[in-house]
């Protein structure tokens, strides 16, 4: 398989195998008007298998959401064919309007105009707690 290198853009590396499509959908990469390569099940010495996404354009990324989807992602910023910045992600301390409270008695269920705020309670287990009702949600990334 031959995938061209990119001149200016972003490479999302070390995505947990099979999780790349979640990232692809969240970023709405199908709506971009630039080349995008989604590579699945690549061999990796560090994690066994991984997915990689190459985006041949500079786009804005919400690193907190990417960290929630898969805290192992490495974001490589490419400019003039060279990696100018490398960011390793982790579970974010706070999420706003990323996940929704499933508690039917939570104020956010009744008041749809309220933002959904979740705070990281347990990093090891990936557990978040609703700021309004204390209901817990577990990150899919650590399942």
pLDDT higher than 60, residue 1: no
pLDDT value of residue 26: 86
Q: pLDDT above 90 covers what percent of the chain?
A: 64
What residue spans define the domains of the chain?
9-88, 94-142
Dihedral sign (CA 67, 69, 71, 76): negative
What's the chain's average pLDDT? 90
pTM: 0.82
- Fold designation for 9-88: Alpha-Beta Plaits (3.30.70)
Instruction: Answer yes or no: CATH 3.40.630 is held by domain 94-142.
Output: no
pLDDT value of residue 143: 55
pLDDT higher than 80, residue 140: no
Distance in angstroms between the alpha carbons of the first and the last residue of the chain: 31
- pLDDT band at residue 45 under the 50/70/90 scheme: confident
What is the rounded CA–CA span in Å between residue 28 and residue 121? 29
**Identical fold, 9-88 and 94-142:** no
Q: What is the pLDDT of residues 52-107, one digit of tens each?
A: 999 999 888 889 889 998 999 999 999 998 999 999 999 999 999 999 999 999 99
Compute the chain's Rg from CA coordinates: 17
Of 34-38, 107-111, 137-141, give the lowest mean pLDDT range.
Answer: 137-141
What is the rounded CA–CA span in Å between residue 143 and residue 125? 9
Which phi and psi angles does 53 have, rounded to 5°?
Answer: -125, 125
pLDDT value of residue 142: 58
Sheet arrangement for strand 94-96? 94-96, 117-122, 127-130, 136-138
What is the rounded CA–CA span in Å between residue 115 and residue 96? 7
In three-state secondary structure terms, 28 is coil
- Name the one residue in this structure whose structure tokens are 């960011």: 87
Distances (CA, A) of 59 to 54, 102, 108, 110, 132: 12, 32, 31, 35, 33
């Amino acid at each position: 398989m031959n995938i061209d290198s990119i001149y200016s853009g972003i490479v999302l590396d070390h995505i947990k195998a099979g999780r790349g499509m979640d990232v692809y959908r969240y970023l709405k990469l199908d709506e971009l008007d630039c080349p995008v390569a989604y590579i699945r099940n690549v061999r990796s010495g560090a994690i066994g298998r991984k997915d990689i996404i190459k985006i041949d354009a500079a786009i804005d990324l919400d690193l907190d959401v990417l960290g929630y989807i898969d805290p192992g992602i490495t974001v490589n910023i490419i400019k003039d064919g060279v990696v100018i910045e490398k960011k390793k992600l982790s579970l974010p301390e706070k999420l706003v309007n990323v996940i929704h409270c499933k508690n039917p008695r939570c104020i956010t269920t009744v008041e749809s105009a309220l933002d959904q705020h979740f705070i990281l309670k347990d990093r090891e287990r990936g557990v978040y707690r609703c700021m309004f009702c204390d209901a817990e949600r577990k990150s899919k990334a650590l399942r």
